[in-house]
Chains A and B, each alone.
Chain A
Amino acid sequence: MSDITEPGRSGRNIPPIAISRMTTEVNLTGSWKYIRPRYEDRVAPCNANCPVGIDIEGYLYLLGQGRTEEAASLLLEENPMPAVTGRVCHHPCEDGCNRANLDEPVAIHSVERRLGDIALASPPPAAPDPARDEKVAVIGSGPAGLACAYHLARIGYRVTVFEAAPEAGGMLRLGIPEYRLPRAILDRQIDRIAALGIEIRCSTAVGRDLPWSELDTFDAVFAAPGAHVGKDARIDGASDTRMVRPGLEFLKEVNAGGRPVLGDHVVVVGGGNTAMDCARSALRLGSEVTVLYRRTPLEMPAIPQEVKEAKLEGVGFRFLATPTAARAKDGSLVGIECQQMELGPPDESGRRRPVPQEEGRFSMIADCVLTAIGEDCDLEFLPEGVEISGGVAAVDELCESTTARVFVGGDAADLPRSVADALGSGKRAAIGIDHWLRERSGEEVAPPDLAALRFGPGGNLSIARERGIDPLHRASPVNEVAGWDAMNPAHFEQAPRHEDHFHAAGDLTATFGEVNFGLSEREFRDEVDRCMNCGVCNRCELCLIFCPDMAIHRRDDGEGFEIDLRYCKGCGLCAAECPRGAMAMSREES
């Protein structure tokens, strides 16, 4: 019998039982692949839809990790007033939210509001080092002006804001009523902005209290005067009485603490936010209120939530109707004549134009009519070279006007008009002014790469991107929206959305106290959980667990993963299973 350990035919020693003493790692099976995976973070559609440009997916991720302070600071990087937008923004972010495909959008505005309030409770930020010598003048302390001032101050510019009104805030203070935006919140939000070393000079209207030439000492000017001139509703006989009033003027009076007597029957003309705010404010002053709108509910430009609340509070609506004449007796208004309308062919805005219906005349009792059919800008104070087109200043993407050194933004340059659009505009202006000043000072600066600074294909820009700030350590991010088709819905379960809690209608009309209480702490947490962090790797590790080849490893610094391409066979399972479109596959180069 031969010794079984003696050399076999192959010349090798074959033990009685062959025992392996090495792993398969000597086989570089990565050579089999013809496509390869990579980590590549995308932009969430909520963010792409936000006119401000806020890393929503990012701060929701940080909140989900319990990193609340970092979440707040990421939010504040882009949005100087989250406690305000969380309350009054029409939240187009939610219209884009991927979660709508699964159940309902994340209540982003409610989360933003609560996080904004958390941030308000922390000590105000320290004024940054005045790293730049240049001085910038900002005209108007609405959201556009304050946003521009905020971002410029954070870069290190010295900023002075000139405001015509006795207090800062623009429409947030003058137009939006307290029951939607408590003044204590607004004051604290503005104080924190001013704490960056920004000087706000109130009761100083440029062109009236301060000639434009006084601004010559500033290196750049950002004008954000808003749109404050109520459009004329052209009601015959309106001048016979003081009770046919521009709605915005009424709101300014009420918001400054005035409590005018309007009478029993108030008619509000218009279908936008100003109309809703007039109606609900008049209701709180004890009147019975009817809104007259010349189109149908579908065409109303007001935020749908505002319309809903107005209805709940008892505001009456009459659609397809417009006032034609006021009936006054001894200077007091007694009623109005109205014309019934019907929808004709579409006008230049694409909406069907209301046209008078024959025989459709009626009258209404009215002690007061508040007109709120839109606002125009007063841009008289601007220097002559600034081109005005369609009632607003003509500016480029970074708000630069046709006159050197002068930038214009917010409602005075933009349509649509909203707080979020104004904040986005102020941010764009800050980026524009910063580049313009650097260039002027002889610094070698490349023109701003707008495509790279954007979140998605829209017009918003990111300061965090400009400054290279990313607490999420995104892997080679691309500016591509992670839409629903990029997601893997298998990894999410349905969970109902939490809605804000409201003051019960009925007992609120006598008060201007806040009507919306937002979410509870638990509901806030739930909404954070509901967010799918579209496009950004949230380290869920599904790619790692599904890789058949053990080719994915956690990075030593804890920020994401590495793919060992020596072993990855290019099956694509990692990218296919990633719940949130944070991976991509590409062909091997031969």
Chain B
Amino acid sequence: MSQTIIKDLMPKDELLASGHLACPGCAAPVAMNLVLKALGPQTVVTLPACCWSIIAGPWPQSSLRVPLFHTAFETGGAVASGIKAGLAARGDTETTVIAWAGDGGTFDIGLQALSGAAERNEDIIYFCYDNEAYMNTGIQRSSATPWGAWTTTTPTGEPEATPKKDMVSILAAHGIPYIATASVAYPVDLVEKVKRARTIRGTRFIHILAPCPPGWKTQNDETIDLARQAVQTRVFPLFEVENGRNWRLTVDHADEPVAPYIRRQARFKHLTDEQVERIQADVDDRWERLQRRIDCGT
């Protein structure tokens, strides 16, 4: 096939409503829409504080056509575990319970609750939609913010000084049954991974890169292309991990240089060419480590 005919591959459920409050061009609702298409209506969403708390609409509205539980910033893993336990107590073992958290709520403040759930192998799917900062409160850095990026707490004079935390490795170290990275620019791959995750029991973790026009300082219509470029530059490779091992790439990755990806985002505009080179070196290094894991299967 020389082109993707997506309509034959996409479930027809429409579980996200219009009128939600995401900024124009936001990837987060695209991600949610795809995930809910893959999971279907028998799904409960746990939502710690993040942009999505706003996107879901103010009470008494909801932009989701499935049950959605707003909860505290740090509690995604714990509350999802509790909802799952409650349903099980009522004899419902079929409903899929997911946590849907931002990178701040996952990499930073929610890490403890997530680690606890993963350690107990709770029967939940934990989604992190990663826009690489605390966007809801006005673009503060998180430990998912890439090295060199501007945020309001890492101004251009003193940009983000540490590289992005390797969350997938942390989760892989928990040995949970299924981990995947996914991208809004690869909807078929994303939907397949979510469907696959749904058939597995235990803690599953899916990390979705979700470009944010105001936070990344990019144009509204670039979101999907940025997500795609992140994959094609190997900044955000698409892969799966089973039981902490069997690392496997799921799409072809071109070997495009990172510079064009970095340069089109004004959050990186202060970087010198040498600094962009450094990002390239870091990307190459991570890719090589990923390759080693893929090659040796652990």
User: Residues of A with Cβ closer than 8 Å to B?
Assistant: 18-29, 32-33, 490-495, 529-530, 532, 539-542, 544-551, 564, 566-567, 569-573, 575-577, 579, 585
Contact = CB atoms under 8 A, between A and B. Distances in A.
B23, B34, B61 interface centre (most CB from chain A within 10 Å): B61
A33 B23 CA distance: 11
Interface in B1-37: 1-7, 10, 14, 16-30, 33-34
Contact of B16 (A539, A541, A550, A566): A550
Interface stretch (B143-151, B215-223, B261-269): B215-223
Nearest to A573: B221
B152 to A, nearest CB: 23
Given A25-B17, A27-B57, A572-B220, A548 B30 contact: yes
A549 B10 contact: no
Given A25-B18, A491-B4, A548-B25, 16 more contacts: A20-B60, A22-B62, A23-B57, A25-B17, A25-B19, A27-B21, A29-B19, A32-B24, A540-B7, A545-B10, A546-B184, A548-B26, A550-B29, A550-B33, A564-B18, A572-B25
A32, A549, A576 interface centre (most CB from chain B within 10 Å): A549
A542 B186 CA distance: 11
Contact of B2 (A28, A529, A575, A585): A529
B245 interface: no
B224 A550 contact: no
Contacts of B3: 491-493, 529, 532, 540, 579
A528 to B, nearest CB: 10
B258 to A, nearest CB: 17
A24 B7 contact: no
B23 to A, nearest CB: 8
Contacts of A18: 59-60
Contacts of B57: 20, 23-24, 27
B182 to A, nearest CB: 14
A476 B41 CA distance: 36
Given A545-B10, A567-B19, A26 B61 contact: yes
B61 A27 contact: yes
A527 to B, nearest CB: 10
Contacts of B220: 570-573
A544 B16 CA distance: 13
Contact of A576 (B6, B21, B28, B221): B221
A206 B57 CA distance: 81
A33 B25 CA distance: 11
A492 B219 CA distance: 23
Contact of A549 (B27, B29, B68): B29
Given A23-B61, A23-B65, A572 B221 contact: yes
Interface of B: 1-7, 10, 14, 16-30, 33-34, 56-57, 59-63, 65, 68, 184-185, 187, 219-225, 228
Contacts of A548: 22, 24-30, 33, 223
B31 to A, nearest CB: 9
Q: Which 9 A-B residue pairings sit nearest by Cβ, starting from the closest?
A: A572-B221, A571-B25, A567-B18, A24-B19, A495-B2, A541-B7, A569-B24, A27-B19, A24-B57
Contacts of B222: 576
Given A491-B4, A540-B7, A564-B18, A22 B224 contact: no
A588 B160 CA distance: 38
A545 B9 CA distance: 11
A566 B18 CA distance: 9
Given A20-B61, A21-B60, A575-B221, A494 B20 contact: no
B228 A24 contact: no
B2 A24 contact: no
A575 to B, nearest CB: 7
Contacts of B187: 545-546
Nearest to B67: A19
A546 B21 CA distance: 16
A23 B7 CA distance: 26
A577 B186 CA distance: 12
Contacts of A493: 1-3
Contact of A33 (B21, B24, B224): B24
Contacts of A544: 7
B19 to A, nearest CB: 4
B27 to A, nearest CB: 7
A426 B156 CA distance: 67
Nearest to A14: B59
A101 B214 CA distance: 33
B62 to A, nearest CB: 4
A283 to B, nearest CB: 39
A26 B19 contact: yes
A28 B20 CA distance: 9
A573 B213 CA distance: 12
Contacts of A575: 221
Nearest to B37: A545
A22 B18 contact: no
A575 B221 CA distance: 8
Contacts of A27: 19-21, 57, 61
A25 B17 CA distance: 7
A569 B225 CA distance: 18
A553 to B, nearest CB: 9
Contacts of B219: 572
10 contacts: A18-B59, A20-B60, A23-B19, A24-B20, A492-B3, A529-B1, A548-B24, A549-B22, A569-B23, A571-B223
A157 B220 CA distance: 56
A585 B221 CA distance: 11
Contacts of B25: 548, 569, 571-573
Given A23-B63, A25-B19, A571-B220, A492 B2 contact: yes
A532 B5 CA distance: 11
Given A21-B60, A570-B24, A551 B18 contact: yes
Nearest to A566: B18
B45 to A, nearest CB: 12
A22 B1 contact: no
Contacts of B225: 490, 576-577
A549 B14 CA distance: 12
A233 to B, nearest CB: 49
Nearest to A551: B18
Nearest to B57: A24
